[in-house]
Amino acid sequence: MSPPVTSLIPHRPPFLFVDEIVSETSDSLIAKRTWRAEEDFYKGHYPNAPITPGVLLCEAVFQTGALFMARQAEASGAAPGAGVPLLSKISDVRFRAPIYPGDTIVIEVKKKEVIAGFTMMSGSVKKADGTRVLSVDFTVAWKSPEGQQVQQAQP
């Protein structure tokens, strides 16, 4: 069984867009997310005709990439929480189908190459029925949170 998503990446609700890891290999990770009708952004995007914002679908892919990198770091012996994912490049985003409240998506990221501490990946989102939703290429660096203001977690 995979570890909880929140044990691997710093994202938390209301800005956590991955529910669980489905499977992983040394070069890829697949996760799932169900979009809930009560999520606040649906009130304004769009009233009476809610649709999931494309930028949040992209963020779900980027968070899945962060999960992949956290699992890679864990496998190499890094301590949990020893780094944070920093997005450094986004390219070739293609949207193919909308996602509505209640839809479940399958998110897949694949490592393409690693150069000088930057991991290049491709990501895709599909509906549970296999319908293609989006594809995107992106680059992430895994960095120590030095210089970053760290706040105490609220109880």
Q: What is the pLDDT of residues 4-15, one digit of tens each?
A: 999 999 899 999
Among this protein's residues, is 45 annotated catalytic? Answer: yes
Catalytic residue among 3, 10, 20, 45: 45
Q: What is the pLDDT of residues 30-55, one digit of tens each?
A: 999 999 999 999 999 999 999 999 99
CATH homologous superfamily of 5-143 equals Hotdog Thioesterase (3.10.129.10)
State the residue for tokens 């390219």.
Answer: 91
Q: Which residues contact 71 (CB under 8 A, 6 or more apart)?
A: 8, 21, 24, 29
- For 92-107, the pLDDT digits (tens) are 999 999 999 999 999 9
Q: In this prediction, what percent of the chain has a pLDDT beyond 90?
A: 77
- The residue among 149, 112, 143, 136 whose CA lies nearest residue 60 is 136
Spatial strand order of the sheet with 28-34 comes to: 20-24, 28-34, 104-115, 118-127, 132-143, 84-95
d(CA 126, CA 144): 32
The closest of 107, 130, 85 to 29, measured between CA atoms, is: 107
Q: Where are the domains of the chain?
A: 5-143
pLDDT at position 145 is 65
